[in-house]
Amino acid sequence: MSKTHQLFDLSGRTAAITGAASGMGRATAYLLSDAGANVVLGDINADGLDETARTVEDKGGKVSSIVTDVTKAADLDALVAKAVQDFGRLDIMGNIAGLKAKKNNFVVDTPEEDLDFVMNVNFKGVWYGSQAALRAMIPQKSGTIVSIASSVIDMPGAPKSSTYSVSKAAVAMLTKVLASEAAPHGIRVNAVSPGWVRSGFTRENVETEEEWEALQENVRGTNPLQLLGQPEHIAQTILFLVSDAAEYITGQNVRANGGAFMPW
């Protein structure tokens, strides 16, 4: 194996991935498994979770799974415990589960339950997942954590986007804090901020197929690469960040958005 291939080889490592039933989580599970990692999958969607696990198995990968509600710290503890039980250790934590608001409201009109709904998954899920991962990684003095923020944090503050935008900004800041706290233990922590990605998550923004096609064409036309983001693009970014090729990178929020947003 060449040195270049070795940099991206995850053989013998174990990755826990939330949101693995679909979209970016599923794509990440497939790609990390292809790179040699044992993958432990978590999602609240049991049927989708089983489908992802079967596909990994059919491709010859080593996989286990457990239904996981990321709003519950005990479920994230159980996900990490399963990784350690089934494969002996945890090397990679992918905090990928996320959702958008049920309804977009102005801040003044947003009820507490809507705020809690988004923050509990998008922010607390990352918080709990990182806590659980660190408890396993600190004693072994190694590991990497990658969480999903969003390019929305680089946009002007769009009206009626508060709950989602704030939750993702919180993930980006948490990433910096965790990176500083975890570095003395040999652990790296980074985030990925996707732009528009073709998935069920973004499909929910429109009602008809015509609107969906128009949205995709609009996205292609609003980034310099003229590309529509795919879940695989985000998975590839995650693979880089958890690989040895990124051993000098921590505390960063990598924008994977086709160049649509280029902050300093």
Query: Which residues are catalytic, by number?
Result: 164
Determine the Cα–Cα distance for residues 68 and 49; give it in Å rounded to an integer: 10
Closest CA to 96 of 136, 47, 39, 55: 39
Q: Give, as one character, the DSSP assignment of residue 145.
A: E
Tell me the one-letter amino acid at 220: R
The letter for the amino acid at 98 is G
What CA–CA distance (Å, rounded) separates 42 from 75? 9
In sequence order, which residues have a C-beta less than 8 Å from that of residue 42 and are 6 or more positions away?
16, 17, 18, 19, 20, 49, 65, 66, 67, 68, 70, 75, 76, 79, 97
Q: Give just the sign of the alpha carbon dihedral 81, 122, 177, 25.
A: positive
